[in-house]
Amino acid sequence: MTTSRTSGAGRTGGAVRYAPGLRGVDAGLLLLRLVVGLTMAAHGVQKLFGWFGGPGLGPTGQYFAANGYPAGRPMALLAGLTETVGGLGLALGLLTPLAAAGVIGVMVNALGLRWGGGFFAPQGVEYEVVLLAAAGALALTGPGRWSLDRFLPGLRAHRLVHGVAAVVLGVAAGLVVLLVLRR
């Protein structure tokens, strides 16, 4: 891969050849994917199985029902699965645009549920906003070279259109759940 560089040793006609391996951008994307993805997956298994001190499916379903969802347990299952699968997809860099769309949808829904408490903790939405923005950033930038998407022909070269479509899909799905399924 060649790239332009304005200063430094090793310039050859304005382009520098980087050695293969982990570059700074790829390292940053890997770190972001791992932290956001594993955080989301952990939240998902808290809902599904009660792991890591989570409530499990029954109490999470009751929470959803108490917040206006007509089918609390199925919505808890959907949220837990989306968080787990979307989070693992982000962490692995596997089907990254689709994984990001799932996380974005869940976070749009979480924002709708928690919006009245202001921005900052303990009742605020800053956590949800950060996770939503991170998932959107990963959708738009792609997962980097250190990802499983690199081995998928259709996703090998990140396309901005995939990222934009993922953001639109995630926001739309989250809004549908908020506006249609929640009363």
- Amino acid in position 132: L
Place of tokens 């790239």: 3
Q: Across residues 78-86, what is the average pLDDT?
A: 98
Question: Is residue 150, in this structure, part of any structural domain at all?
Answer: yes
Does residue 29 lie in a domain region? yes
Token pair for 52: 């890591």
What does the pLDDT look like over 120-158, one tens digit per residue? 878 889 999 999 999 999 999 999 999 999 898 776 666
In sequence order, which ranges of 67-125 are alpha helices (DSSP H)? 72-92, 96-114
- Placement of tokens 């609390």 in the chain: 72
In a domain, 172, yes or no: yes
Say if 103 falls within a structural domain: yes
Secondary structure letter of residue 20 according to DSSP: S
Q: Does residue 2 fall inside a structural domain?
A: no
Whether 62 maps to a domain, the answer reads: yes
E-strand stretches of the chain: 2-4, 15-17
Lookup result for tokens 């769309």:
101
Q: How is residue 155 written in tokens?
A: 């996703």
Q: How many domains does the chain have?
A: 1
Indicate the pLDDT class of residue 9, thresholds 50, 70 and 90. Answer: very low
- pTM comes to 0.84
pLDDT tier, 13 (very low <50, low <70, confident <90, very high otherwise): low
CB 43 within 8 A of CB 90: no
Q: Is residue 175 part of a domain?
A: yes
Q: Is residue 12 part of a domain?
A: no
A 10 A CB-CB count for 106 gives 28
Residues 6+ apart with CB under 8 A from 70: 181, 183
The pLDDT tens digits for 40-65 are 999 999 999 999 999 999 999 999 99
Are the C-beta atoms of 144 and 93 separated by less than 8 Å?
Answer: yes
Specify the DSSP element, H or E, that contains 167. Answer: helix 160-176
pLDDT band of residue 18 (cuts 50, 70, 90) is: very low
Give φ, ψ of 23 to 5 degrees.
-95, 165
pLDDT for res 156: 64
Domain boundaries, position 137:
23-181
Angle at 25 between CA 86 and CA 139, to 5 degrees: 30
List phi, psi (to 5°) of 3: -150, 150
Share of the chain above pLDDT 90, in %: 67
